Amino acid sequence: MISSLSYVVFFDPLPIWVKPWFWPLLLLPLCLAVAVVYKSVRCRQTSQVPREATVLFVTIVLGMILAAAALAGLAAIMG
Amino acid sequence: MPETRSLIRSVPMVCLCAWLVPGGGYFLIGERSRGATVAVTIIGLFLAGIVVGGIRIMDPPGWGQYGYMSQLVEKYDRHRQRPEGEYSRVDPSSSEEEASPGSDGDKPAGPALLAEPLSELADKPWYVGQILCGPMTLAASALSVHVAHPPAGSTVLAAGGSRAAVEGVPQSHSRSWEIGTLYSAVAGMLNLLVIIDSAHRAGQGKR
């Protein structure tokens, strides 16, 4: 019974509900992947990719934080 | 200075390789470091999706909750002693039920995927994104379908006092499922971008 309840990676979902603050952090790998692949496609030289991808990653994350803050503010105003 | 010598410039071949292995198209046209970067990123994102949502986020169209092919049956009207002329979808929970779906008198009309492929795909549109990751999606889907089969003799009491089968590995729900599916579908969409770019570079190299 215990073995059927234990977490098996790749088979069982990651228990993100245990720590409610954890799931928004899952935005980061997604933003990183989008930034790296997009800049890998766009850059002429692959040596430019790390720097360009880092800038894009930070821009996306800051944009998401600003959008979340704006929506939270709007939700607070609307009551 | 080019990083490596171009090997193949056939656009269809580059597209096929880019779909088979993410980044494979770049390897074929000689851009190895670009290919390695996108391969690690796309495969990593795809696997991260499975880690977050579990293997059951791979939910191929045409297969039901218990990992057997969904079947269509023509319902039989016992009062009028004739078929109703209406089809319904049955989710088998065993290979026996898959072979003869529906209750007594119902007429099997074959797998739902073959009878109504677009309807099945419309039920699971995220699979369009996932399949763009290539054969690893097919392998993960086959594993997902396999582990979904209910273990022998495992049933639970369902509403109305009837017994219902239990999935071998249950599907995740809520945010786990959503985020896992999003990761794997975005990995596929990024691979589409890479397929288009590697094909474009291969085409440019011909001129």
- With an 8 Å Cβ cutoff, is B142 touching chain A? no
- The closest CB to that of B52, out of A14, A33, A49, belongs to A14
More confident residue, B41 or B99: B41
Q: Residue A48: closest CA among chain B residues belongs to which residue?
A: B34
pLDDT computed for residue B167 by the predictor: 83
- The closest CB to that of A16, out of B41, B169, B176, belongs to B176
Residue B19 CA to residue B176 CA, distance in Å, equals 27
Which residues in chain A have their CB less than 8 angstroms from residue B45's CB? 29-30, 33
pLDDT computed for residue A5 by the predictor: 64
Q: Using the beta-carbon criterion (under 8 Å), do A40 and B34 form an inter-chain contact? A: yes
Q: Using the beta-carbon criterion (under 8 Å), do B176 and A33 form an inter-chain contact? A: no
Could you tell me the residue range of the domain that residue A67 belongs to?
2-78
pLDDT computed for residue B89 by the predictor: 86
pLDDT computed for residue A4 by the predictor: 53
- The closest CB to that of A11, out of B37, B48, B54, belongs to B54
> How does pLDDT run across A13-71, given as a tens digit for each residue?
988 888 888 888 999 999 999 999 999 999 999 999 999 999 999 999 999 999 999 99
Shortest CA gap A57–chain B (Å):
14
Domain range annotation of chain B:
11-60+124-206, 71-122
Domain count, chain A: 1
Q: What value does the mean pLDDT take over residues B49-67?
A: 94
pLDDT computed for residue A3 by the predictor: 46
- The closest CB to that of B54, out of A12, A41, A49, belongs to A12
pLDDT greater than 70 at residue B1: no
pLDDT computed for residue B155 by the predictor: 72
pTM above 0.90, yes or no: no
Q: What value does the mean pLDDT take over residues B73-89?
A: 77
Q: Using the beta-carbon criterion (under 8 Å), do B42 and A46 form an inter-chain contact? A: no
More confident residue, A4 or B27: B27
Q: Using the beta-carbon criterion (under 8 Å), do A26 and B52 form an inter-chain contact? A: yes
**3-state SS, one letter per residue, for chain B:** CCCCCCCCCCHHHHHHHHHHCCCHHHHHCCCHHHHHHHHHHHHHHHHHHHHHHCHHHCCCCCECCCCCECEEEEEEECCCCEEEEEEEEECCCCHHHHHCCCCCCCEEEEEHHHHCHHHHHHHCCHHHHHHCCCHHHHHHHHHHHHHHCCCCCCEEECHHHCEEECCCCCCCCHHHHHHHHHHHHHHHHHHHHHHHHHHHHHHHHHC
